[in-house]
Amino acid sequence: LGGSVSYHVSESLFIDATLGLSKAGKTSYEVIGQGNLISDSDRTLSYYLISLGYDLFPGEAFMTDQLTYNTALYVVAGIGSTDFAGDSHFTLSFGFGYRLLATNTISAYIDVRDHTFNMDILGTDKLTHNLEVTIGISTYF
């Protein structure tokens, strides 16, 4: 479950605030009966990010001879915090996306981001990569 709010500073530059919430399942180690690495109450993952995005390739998609949509391929990078396994982790996020404006106020998009942070559940500090793929519809006002 998540949500975001973006503010387009200019035609190509935007700021994005994102919140997310998820519930983690058991690892394969836990499934085969070797014990629990974390308690059930610590399996909730929540995060927030403030990101800066830039439209690299604004353009148009020609669906037919008469039907054209404005589009943009964009990159985004941000910082924030991830709460998981009873700890808060400084998080860096990098990604890209593709946006198609169906009308002046409605667009469809696909967004791929990698949220990275250090975590030490097993006692060793490890950089984790957590991929997120979002498909959505947004409105402009």
Q: What are 88-133's pLDDT values in tens digits?
A: 999 999 999 999 999 989 999 999 999 999 988 777 889 999 999 9
User: Which has more pLDDT, 29 or 69?
Assistant: 69
Residue 28 pLDDT class (50, 70, 90 cuts):
low
Decide which of 66 and 31 is more confident: 66
Please, what is the Cα angle at 23 between 17 and 25, to 5 degrees? 140
Rounded to an integer, the average pLDDT of 20-29 is 80
